Structure 1
Amino acid sequence: MTRSEADNAPSILFINQHYWPDFASTAQHLTDLAEYLAEEGFDVHVLCSRGHYLSGSMDVPVEETHNGVHIYRVRATAFGRSTILGRLTDYASFYSSTLARVLTGPAYDYLVTLTTPPLLPLVGAIARALRGQRYGIWSMDLHPDAEVAAGMFQEGGPAAQLLHALNNAGYRGADFVVDLGTHMKRRLHEKGVADDRLHTIPVWNRKDEISPIAHEENPLRSELGLDGKFVVMYSGNAGRAHRFEEVLAVMRRLDGHPDIEFVFVGEGPQKTRIEAFAEENDLSNFRYLPYFPREDLKYSLPMADVHLMTLREEMAGIAVPGKLYGIMAAGRPALMVGPEASESGETIQKCEAGHVVDPSRSSDPGQALYDTVLQLYSDGEERRRLGENGREAFLKTFEQEVCCESWTELLRTQVRPPRRSREDKVAA
């Protein structure tokens, strides 16, 4: 008997390495969705670890209920992301503990895996084969596609072939797969996932969490000594999917500019490289800040005048930077260095929410980025227009309520409707 037969509410188990109170992007989005579904009447459960996104374990219970969501944290290592060996060890320990619990624990109406760690969808395929468990996949990124594109595995080599075969088996056996856009959908279709099982739902931000704030009303700018500065910000993970050659070159060319300040926020494998470049070139208008708590994003994202984004061309459809929607929510222009033919590139252009410098279509992308930064610096009206366009598009398409409602509708086609909807609760 499944949990829903016991309590008459459809039961969903989400599986991801990270969850509240961790600040990883996947943790924040999963928390938003899980709590939304709990309000909609679903019996929502989450299986995760106690490890921080960066390193170390959080001081949290093994099991608790938070905002209507039942959370179970399995035993796993927490070496973090500073080394590949540590990350792989964390992945393996979480994977083994998760598989053991899924195969011996309660059954659910639906199991939904995310994609951290890689090969996590295979847990669903194994649970289907051994227990008849139905499952879906929330494809935040594609593996081992990302590792191959980053040069960690040779395309066509034995390791890549094995990982592709395992991962593809997980995707092909799923009842549904949620992708993040047309380019990811195309890649999943090429892996053998049927079109009628693919559903596009982008990730999001919350309109009440991030909104445009005038600089003079933003206490963080004063606190950081940025009053009167034109802030060009890169906020988020500086990962292997991103390129920084053009950004670093422009930072060096604009060093000493009296008004322009480059502010990086976050962590990632390329942080050391970026900081080393700044030190070697003695850059005076650069700083690298740690991640801000989620409750401070309402100040940190609007603190910028322009937000930088980067993506390597081969990562199009493999990784979809969710940071774009926070930028749009903050009403700031996005300046992307990366392929126009990508989810982010097409969104920026279609919504007229910024500019895209595509290295594959420019004879000198560094010069193009330099010119665009100076253009936006000198044209406040253009910055305002692009930011307003982004905020408007965000509210229509990339806001939490809009995207979570799409998830609710999808899940209601997979399991029987819950007893009470959000409207019923309001009426009561």
Structure 2
Amino acid sequence: MTLIFLNRYFHPDHSATSQMLSDLAFGLSARGYDVRVIASRQRYDAPEARLPARATIDGVAIHRVWTSHFGRGKLIGRAVDYATFYVSAALMLWWLARAGDIIIAKTDPPMLSVVVAPIARWRGARLVNWLQDLFPEVAEAVGLDRHQAPSFVYDALRVLRNWSLRSAAMSVALGDRMAERLAALGVAPDRVSIIQNWADGVLIKPVVPKNNPLRHEWGLDGKFVVGYSGNLGRAHDYHTLLDAITRVESATPDSSEIRWLFVGGGALHSAFAGELRARGLKSVLFKPYQPRHLLAQSLSAADVHLVHLKPELEGLIVPSKFYGIAAAGRPTIFVGDGDGEIARIIRRHDLGYVVNEGDGRELAARVLALTRDPALCREIGARARQACEKKFEQQIAIERWEALLAGLPN
């Protein structure tokens, strides 16, 4: 039996879907599985990249297919990149797949399962949908439907997507809210499995401030640092963060030693930076994505982290950055739906705070309270690390995937 994964990005790319896939593919290969990956030759932040068409890394056979390379800057170019990946990946999958294989399709690009499902059926393979998001609902929630296509197009896409979900041997959801969405779409409960995303607790460990080279290099020694790591994109709304930063900077004397650290990029990154300049806010520091081997230092550079998701996206997306934050032993302040997936986890395990989107006053108050009680901040961080080791660790997730694969219906 061969496992064939499909996703647009794979190792050494640093994007969230790539890192999750890389962890699982290499982990299953190490446990004796025959693992193959179909991906593009691009990198998330470098569409001009040309990774090798064929490679074998740690036992995983990687098949990188040709795509156009317009990148993420314009939606039309991105759509062309998607389309060329669909065609190239489908041809490669037809060539690789055999009866009895298990095909695991992720959701980058969107609707990938619609392309994969008929090939899996024709080849006698079993399909597992690994759902990092639900499209086209995500596009509708962030407003892309108003600019890209009439409603009947999205209705047609939904029909095709639902067929691919119902025809799969299993669909893997990232949490309870997403599983609830799948049930509402008519996916049978015995064809849905919940496996959360995870963090590599060996790679990402808490680094104390005095031993953190990045914190020193970035001029953060002696500061209380509020971190935001990863993508700041259409699934997020920075206005709550902007309001909180404004309030904290106007507060005295706490604001003089508080820094807001944004590591990463995204579609809203430039607009957010422009708003900060327009308001004359000086306490925010921007840094680019950090390589994987520096994640422990990067995540540990903050004393507390922010995680945000628009409430209308609950059940469609789960911010995977939360799990790395927990591995780094840091509290999380979640901004979004008070009954969201991450909000539920935070409350269940007492790992930080939940703030409603739009409530900058409350967010500022939570930040200022933690600056005044560093012992509480460390205590919450210690609980986060413990929760990671017991519930969110990479090896735990791989074991759950092994059990799922072993129990798939024929």
Task: Give the shorter-chain TM-score range.
Answer: over 0.9
Measured after TM superposition, the shift of residue 115 of structure 1 is 0.5
The yes-or-no answer on 1:119 pairing with 2:106 is no
Whole-angstrom CA distance in 1 between matches of 2:329 and 2:19? 21
Partner of 1:86: 77
Whole-angstrom CA distance in 1 between matches of 2:177 and 2:137? 13
Superposed, which structure 2 residues align to 1:351-362 within 5 Å? Answer: 351-359=349-357
1:63 to 39, 54, 59: 54
Q: Matched residues, percent identical?
A: 38
TM-score by length of 2: 0.95
Superposed, which structure 2 residues align to 1:133-148 within 5 Å? Answer: 133-148=125-140
Structure 2: which 5+ residue stretches go unaligned? Answer: none
1:375 to 365, 369, 390: 369
Partner of 2:348: 350
- The amino acid of 1:393's aligned partner reads A
1:167-187 Cα shifts (integer Å, max 9, x gaps): 111111100111100000010
Whole-angstrom CA distance in 2 between matches of 1:12 and 1:283? 50
Moved more, 123-132 or 39-48: 123-132
The yes-or-no answer on 1:409 pairing with 2:406 is no
Superposed, which structure 2 residues align to 1:24-43 within 5 Å? Answer: 24-43=15-34
The yes-or-no answer on 1:19 pairing with 2:17 is no
Verify the 8 A CA contact 2:169 2:409 in the aligned structure 1: no
1:224-251 Cα shifts (integer Å, max 9, x gaps): 1111111111101111111211100111
RMSD, aligned α-carbons = 1.6
Measured after TM superposition, the shift of residue 253 of structure 1 is 2.4
Verify the 8 A CA contact 2:223 2:258 in the aligned structure 1: yes
1:273-296 Cα shifts (integer Å, max 9, x gaps): 111111111221112111000111
Superposed, which structure 2 residues align to 1:304-319 within 5 Å? Answer: 304-319=302-317
1:288-313 Cα shifts (integer Å, max 9, x gaps): 11100011101000110110111111
Structure 1: which 5+ residue stretches go unaligned? Answer: 1-9, 417-428
Whole-angstrom CA distance in 1 between matches of 2:95 and 2:238? 46
Partner of 2:319: 321
2:210 to 216, 227, 235: 216
Whole-angstrom CA distance in 2 between matches of 1:132 and 1:355? 48
Whole-angstrom CA distance in 1 between matches of 2:96 and 2:213? 48
Measured after TM superposition, the shift of residue 255 of structure 1 is 2.9
- Over 6 Å off, 4+ runs: none
- The amino acid of 1:309's aligned partner reads V
TM-score by length of 1: 0.91
SS class of match (2:270): helix
1:233 to 227, 230, 242: 227
Verify the 8 A CA contact 1:124 1:133 in the aligned structure 2: no
Verify the 8 A CA contact 1:74 1:97 in the aligned structure 2: yes
Partner of 1:192: 186
Measured after TM superposition, the shift of residue 60 of structure 1 is 2.5
SS class of match (1:414): coil
SS class of match (2:256): coil
- The amino acid of 1:280's aligned partner reads A
Moved more, 71-80 or 104-113: 104-113
SS class of match (2:44): coil
